[in-house]
Amino acid sequence: MEQTFIMIKPDGVQRGLVGDLISRFEKRGFFLKGLKLITVERSFAEKHYEDLSAKPFFAGLVEYIISGPVVAMVWEGKNIVATGRKMIGATNPSNAEPGTIRADFAIEVGRNVIHGSDAVESARKEIALWFPEGLSNWRSNLHSWIYE
Ligand code: DAT
Ligand code: MG
């Protein structure tokens, strides 16, 4: 089953959105496979966002991500990478569709509350980076109530 890396950014933690955001993924029918509250080092944040290192907003983005604890998670389910991105909404909250996380909880692109992997391959890389210790391998008893 497909997995994705989801991170609640420092603003989401500070604003008390952790429970609500986790709830959205749980209620949809996705399964939580990894979870931790962690404040990352600058070099780690730079590695996570290495593909964006040439962008003018890179330094500010790194400052934001290291500004407080984040909630790092791995979620699992059918087509979760693409579905997770849809649930999160457009990068700039002002372009995000109503009902998406970024439309419901954010105003500015540099305070957009949550990260989600953009492809199966980047999910694999991000999960390996954030969870080198591995994941929990449990299987929900609700599986057959969610999947045909
Ligand atoms: P996403 O987080 O939707 O995958 P991304 O990977 O292109 O978007 O960029 C990572 C983060 O960088 C994004 O969540 C917020 C910030 N960012 C992206 N584009 C930006 C811009 N034009 N100005 C300021 N910050 C930006
Ligand atoms: Mg991205």
**pLDDT tens for the 148 residues of the chain, in order:** 999 999 999 999 999 999 999 999 999 999 999 999 999 999 999 999 999 999 999 999 999 999 999 999 999 999 999 999 999 999 999 999 999 999 999 999 999 999 999 999 999 999 999 999 999 999 999 999 999 9
- What is the C-alpha to C-alpha distance for residues 65 and 58, in angstroms, rounded to an integer? 11
Cβ neighbors of 77 (< 8 A, separation 6 or more) are: 1, 2, 28, 29, 30, 31, 83
CA of 41 to the centre of ligand 1 (A): 19
Element (H, E) at 33: strand 31-38
The residue whose CA has the least distance to atom 12 of ligand 1 is 61
pTM of the model: 0.98
137 is in an annotated binding site: no
ipTM: 0.98
Q: Could you give the CA distance from residue 129 to residue 46 in angstroms, rounded to a whole number?
A: 12
Residue located nearest, by CA, to atom 5 of ligand 1: 91
Could you tell me the strand order of the sheet in which 70-76 lies?
A: 31-38, 70-76, 3-8, 114-116
